[in-house]
Amino acid sequence: MCQLLGMNCNTPTDVTFSFSGFAQRGGRTDHHTDGWGIAFFEGAGLRHFVDHQPSSESPVADLIRRYPIKSRNVIAHIRKATQGAIALENCHPFVRELWGRYWVFAHNGNLENFHPRLHAAFHPVGATDSERAFCWLMQEMAKSHAGVPDVRELTLTLRELTPMIARHGTFNFLLSNGQALWAHCSSSLFFVERKHPFAHAQLKDEDLSVNFARNTTPDDRVAVVVTSPLTVNEDWTAFAPGELRVFADGRALA
Amino acid sequence: MCQLLGMNCNTPTDVTFSFSGFAQRGGRTDHHTDGWGIAFFEGAGLRHFVDHQPSSESPVADLIRRYPIKSRNVIAHIRKATQGAIALENCHPFVRELWGRYWVFAHNGNLENFHPRLHAAFHPVGATDSERAFCWLMQEMAKSHAGVPDVRELTLTLRELTPMIARHGTFNFLLSNGQALWAHCSSSLFFVERKHPFAHAQLKDEDLSVNFARNTTPDDRVAVVVTSPLTVNEDWTAFAPGELRVFADGRALA
């Protein structure tokens, strides 16, 4: 099973701490060694890094651990290949443009017999079920709205579309357009909201802890969504199977 | 004026040497300090790095100088802003997907009063004339072919489309889909073909030389396209104004 990490914040925040523990799962504390990737929004712009080397050994992952890129929306993925060879074009997250915005998608799970009709502007470059699912979501979103819908409207559309894919298998996913982070759980997804008063957190996968109070202001809010909890001493909330949540400005919207 | 660098090879080759000199033009030997970017194809997959810090100071550029990514098609760009703020979403190269392949585009020049009707699937995320030109090219290419055309067919299409943009101003550009490198010159573009017998080359922008014979085989072929020659002792051929050339397997096609 792959590993997902998403971050949504109300102010640009670096993901160095969470990424440090997460990257260990690519080859060291877990067996997801078939590539990895991460995408950071900066305003409408995007930094997108993918590598088919294990994240615990990748020089690009090392750069990201050492170079704090600040972002309000981040999606990262460590791959355990189920469908599609170990190749750069099969590494998540995937990126497409729609309505003049970039959209970033990463998937954890496996979809059986999922070969939707892709008759519009979105076609997979690689050979994964995940990229097919993303292309179909983009195609159907493009039909449902004339331009970028607001966050709540798009959430309703995604709640209609997601079950049509999820019935083909396991479909935990993260999606962002730089304004919000959407997260859907089939089998395993957790989130935590970090806010004032910030506390000390201890990583599960690496002997590293951080006192968030030191680098934050009382107004900062950060939501982190992940396949399994990253820290041992924070209150992680489990998603229910079939649940789709949206995070904006560092908090889960009702 | 911005700076363009393109490389097309018959075997995966690292761009470290050429990029070392090129990156100096972003703030050190030239005044292009408004961001930079580089894209490497690996098969159908793509590594895409953009940064709005000057390339001579960017930690990401430093990674690329030290970490030899091997690729058959590379496009790099250093930005001197004419239209659009200094922001990540305005950094070249730009990427879109069409027909299940990634397409990478970088532009040097300035287009006046170029606001084409973008009625299909490609819309700019940033505010540059360059990304508008790319989106229009993608839109018109999508209309002209049902799937990925072969290299010579697409060259004919591009020779029809390019003048419609070029009449709006300066339009030097590089375009690649991982199979070939297309290069159009309005005002300044040069290329060199490196092949057996490989020789010693001396960079113009940095005190660095390389003996290509040491790391190559007699079958290797590399074409490099650039805004102005990178080395002082190689035979660079100037493009004619209005000329569009295509490079495949490390050589200029007739």
Nearest to A126 among B44, B50, B125 (CB): B44
The reported pLDDT for the residue numbered B28 is 67
HSE toward the beta carbon, residue B62, CA cutoff 13 A: 11
Which of A96, A100, A125 has its CB closest to that of B101? A125
What sections of chain A are H helices per DSSP? 16-24, 59-66, 129-144, 151-166
Residue tagged active-site, from B2, B9, B91, B135: B2
Domain count, chain B: 1
B123/A99 Cβ within 8 A: yes
CA dihedral B27, B28, B32, B33 (to 10 degrees): 0
CA dist., res. B190 & res. B229, Å (int): 6
Q: Exposure string (b/e) for A183-215, b if CB count within 10 Å is 16 or more?
A: bbbbebbbbbbbbeebeebebebbeeebebeee
- pLDDT per residue as tens, chain A (254 positions): 689 999 999 999 988 878 877 877 766 666 657 888 999 999 999 999 998 877 777 777 777 777 778 999 999 998 887 888 889 999 999 999 999 999 999 999 999 999 999 999 999 999 999 999 999 999 999 999 999 999 999 999 999 999 999 999 999 999 999 999 999 999 999 999 999 888 888 888 777 788 887 778 899 999 999 999 999 989 999 999 999 999 999 999 98
Length of chain B: 254
Look at residues B179, B194, B172, B212 and name the one whose alpha carbon lies nearest to residue B77.
B172
Contact between A245 and A174 under an 8 Å Cβ cutoff? The reply is: no
B2 counts as catalytic: yes
pLDDT at A197: 87
Average pLDDT, chain B: 91
H or E, element range at B140? helix B129-144
DSSP state of A25: T
The parts of chain B modelled with pLDDT lower than 70 are: 1, 26-32
Distance in angstroms (rounded) separating the CA atoms of residues A9 and A20:
18
| Residues on chain A touching B45 (C-beta within 8 angstroms) | 50, 52, 87-91, 125-126
Q: Show Cβ contacts of residue A181 under 8 Å, excluding neighbours closer than 6 positions.
A: A6, A7, A8, A73, A75, A174, A175, A223, A225, A246, A247, A248
In this structure, the number of other CB atoms found within 10 A of the CB of residue A78 comes to 32
Q: pLDDT value at position A114?
A: 96
Tokens of A47: 């930094």
pLDDT of residue A80: 82
CB of B211 within 8 Å of a chain A CB? The answer is no
Domain that residue A8 falls in: 3-252
Chain B CB contacts of A101 below 8 Å: 125
The complex's ipTM works out to 0.93
Contacts of B150 (CB under 8 A, 6+ apart): none
Say whether residue A85 is in contact with chain B using an 8 A CB cutoff: no
Q: Is A238 on the interface with B (CB under 8 A)?
A: no
Q: How far is the alpha carbon of A22 from chain B, nearest alpha carbon, in Å? A: 21
Please give the pLDDT value at position A29. Answer: 66
Q: Would you call B193 exposed, middle or buried from its count of C-beta atoms within 10 A (0-12, 13-18, 19+)?
A: middle
Tokens in use for A155? 């959430």
Identify the pLDDT of residue B145.
96
Query: Tokens standing for B165?
Result: 């943009």
- Kindly state whether A178 is in contact with chain B, defined as any CB-CB distance less than 8 angstroms: no
* A88-114 as b/e: b if 16+ CB within 10 A: bbbbbbbbbbbebbbbbbbbbbbbeeb
Round to the nearest angstrom and report the end-to-end CA distance of chain A: 29
**Chain B residue with minimum CA distance to A120:** B121
The total of other beta-carbon atoms located within 10 Å of residue B244's CB is: 19
The tokens for B254 are 């007739």
CATH classification at residue A169: 3.60.20.10
CA distance B238 to chain A (A): 34
Rounded distance, CA A90 to CA A34, Å? 10
**B142 → chain A, closest CA residue:** A121
Of B44, B91, B125, the CB nearest to A97: B125
